[in-house]
Each structure stands twice: as structure tokens, then as C-alpha cells.
């Protein structure tokens, strides 16, 4: 049975779509479940269209964050994922949740971390006048957008860019680096260790380059 992964989403789900499009041989992984905190998120329809089981855990239905995350963990663990992927999941997770999936929780973020953690990254990059922008896949630790970096890709910032145009250029690359990171993890090549992310036993930030996507 292929390596089972779970994907957490909140919205439109284009990064999920990229994983769905590559699931199986290319990804070396099987998407066992897609879980959304937002009922009706377009990402859920993408999963359903691909025949992937879905679940909704609406944060608004729980008395606090702990109760919400308990339900989230139950929805995920019912499918025994070996990796959990945050693909546009818009809730901040507690250290307890992050600890439950320690070393097997990754996120895609639309900036070159550590620059521009948080929201509105493209507008902030334009306001800052940077020449290059990009996207990052990283392991998730307790601090928001702070965990060990797995893989980054850069794109140029053009003089005529709007936040939307820049976002589209970055998104195209997100759709490549996220499946790449999943594939490495499923192949056993990527690990999160005390000293950081390691690919083939070497520091990921030194050696990780797109290979397959
Ligand atoms: C992406 O830009 C991702 O990097 C960020 O949220 C956005 C989600 O887009 N975390 P989509 O739902 O995958 O289309």
C-alpha cells in the first residue's frame, strides 16, 4: 500500500490539486484523507472529484482550540497518515497539535522564509521593494512559519507587478515544491532532526533542489 498522507485545507485548494494530480507513482504517496475546517471549501470538491475521502471539522463548532484540535486529530488519525500536509490551512495550530505530528507535519508558505511570515506576503514583498520573492516548504514547529526549511524556490519581482500577478507567479512554483517535498519524505530521503531538515542525510537548505516536478 502506498505511503498514506493527509492534507489539511481551508480554501480553494490549488496546492491540494497539485498533490492530487501527482498522487501515486509520481508522488510516491497516496492521499488518504483531505480535512477542511471550512465547510464548502472548493478544496473539498477537488478531493471528492478525485475519489479521495474528505472530512470537515469546523472550528466554529468547538468550545475552544483544544477541543477543535482533538476533533481534527481524530479525523486525521482515522486514516493513519504518515505525513500531514498543510496546504492553505488557515488556522494557527497549538504546540500540542504540532507535537502530536512532530517530524511529520509540513506547510507550504508563499514567501522566502524567514522573510514575510504570516499573511499578505505578496503585497508586503512589493512594499518592501525586494527583487526576488518565492515560496517555502518547511516542517511545522510551534512558532508560526518558523520550522526547519525543506525547499525554497525564488521568482523575480517585476516592475509592473501587482500582488495578484506576483502571487500567480509564486503559486505556479508552490505547485512544484510541495509535491517534491512530499515525494522525498515518502521515499525516506527527507527527515526533520534536532538540527533541522535533512535530505539524504545532509542539511536540506544546502542540497535541496527541485528534481522531479
Ligand atoms: C497558498 O499560497 C499557500 O502557500 C498558502 O495559502 C495559499 C493556499 O492556496 N499557505 P491554495 O488553497 O492551495 O490554492
pLDDT for the residue numbered 16: 98
- Give residue-wise pLDDT tens across range 71-93: 999 999 999 999 999 999 999 99
pLDDT for the residue numbered 187: 97
- Give residue-wise pLDDT tens across range 96-111: 999 999 999 999 999 9
Q: Note the pTM of the prediction, 2 decimals.
A: 0.97
- Give residue-wise pLDDT tens across range 11-20: 999 999 999 9
pLDDT for the residue numbered 143: 83
Nearest CA, atom 12, ligand 1: 13
Band of residue 195 on the pLDDT scale cut at 50, 70, 90: confident
Q: What does pLDDT average to over the chain?
A: 97
- Choose one of 14, 107, 116 to mutate for the ligand 1 pocket test, by most ligand atoms within 8 angstroms of C-beta: 14
Cα(14) to centroid of ligand 1, in Å?
Answer: 7
Q: Which atom, in ligand 1's list, is nearest to the CA of 171?
A: 2
Residue 9 has pLDDT above 60, yes or no: yes
pLDDT for the residue numbered 1: 57
The rounded percent of the chain whose pLDDT value lies above 90 is: 95
| Domains of the chain with CATH codes | 1-101 (3.40.50.170), 110-213 (3.40.50.170)
Nearest CA, atom 5, ligand 1: 88
pLDDT for the residue numbered 95: 96
Nearest CA, atom 2, ligand 1: 110
Ligand 1 pocket member 10 (CB < 6 A): no
The rounded percent of the chain whose pLDDT value lies above 70 is: 100
Mean pLDDT score, 203-211:
94
- Helix H segments across the chain? 14-22, 42-49, 65-77, 95-100, 121-128, 163-186, 204-207
Q: Hey, CA dihedral for 15, 16, 22, 27, is it positive or negative?
A: positive
Nearest CA, atom 7, ligand 1: 88
Is 122 marked active-site? Answer: no
Mean pLDDT score, 117-146:
96
Ligand 1 pocket member 179 (CB < 6 A): no
Mean pLDDT score, 193-197:
90
Ligand 1 pocket member 117 (CB < 6 A): no
pLDDT for the residue numbered 194: 85
Q: Hey, CA dihedral for 113, 117, 121, 125, is it positive or negative?
A: negative
Mean pLDDT score, 163-189:
98
- What separation, in Å, do the N-terminal and C-terminal C-alpha atoms of the chain show? 23
Rounded Cα–Cα distance for residues 198 and 207 (Å)? 9
Q: Which atom, in ligand 1's list, is nearest to the CA of 87?
A: 13
Ligand 1 pocket member 108 (CB < 6 A): yes
* Range list of β-strands (E), 87-146: 105-109, 132-139
Amino acid at each position: 500500500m502506498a505511503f498514506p498522507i493527509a492534507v489539511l485545507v481551508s480554501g480553494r485548494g490549488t496546492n491540494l490539486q497539485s498533490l492530487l494530480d501527482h498522487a501515486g507513482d509520481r508522488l510516491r504517496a497516496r492521499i488518504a484523507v483531505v480535512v477542511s475546517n471550512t465547510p464548502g471549501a472548493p478544496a473539498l470538491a477537488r478531493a471528492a472529484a478525485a475519489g479521495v475521502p474528505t472530512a470537515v471539522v469546523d472550528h466554529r463548532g468547538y468550545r475552544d482550540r483544544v477541543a477543535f484540535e482533538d476533533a481534527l486529530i481524530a479525523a486525521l488519525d482515522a486514516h493513519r497518515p504518515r505525513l500531514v500536509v498543510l496546504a492553505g490551512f488557515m488556522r494557527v495550530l497549538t504546540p500540542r497539535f504540532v507535537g502530536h505530528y512532530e517530524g511529520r507535519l509540513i506547510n507550504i508558505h508563499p514567501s522566502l522564509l524567514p522573510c514575510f511570515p504570516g499573511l499578505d506576503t505578496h503585497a508586503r514583498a512589493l512594499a518592501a521593494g525586494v527583487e526576488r520573492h518565492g515560496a517555502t516548504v518547511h516542517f511545522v514547529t510551534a512558532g508560526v512559519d518558523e520550522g526547519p526549511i525543506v525547499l525554497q524556490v525564488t521568482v523575480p519581482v517585476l516592475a509592473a507587478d501587482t500582488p495578484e500577478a506576483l502571487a500567480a507567479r509564486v503559486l505556479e512554483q508552490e505547485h512544484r515544491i510541495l509535491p517534491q517535498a512530499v515525494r522525498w519524505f515518502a521515499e525516506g530521503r527527507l527527515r526533520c532532526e534536532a538540527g533541522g531538515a535533512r535530505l539524504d542525510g545532509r542539511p536540506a537548505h544546502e542540497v535541496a533542489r527541485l528534481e522531479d516536478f
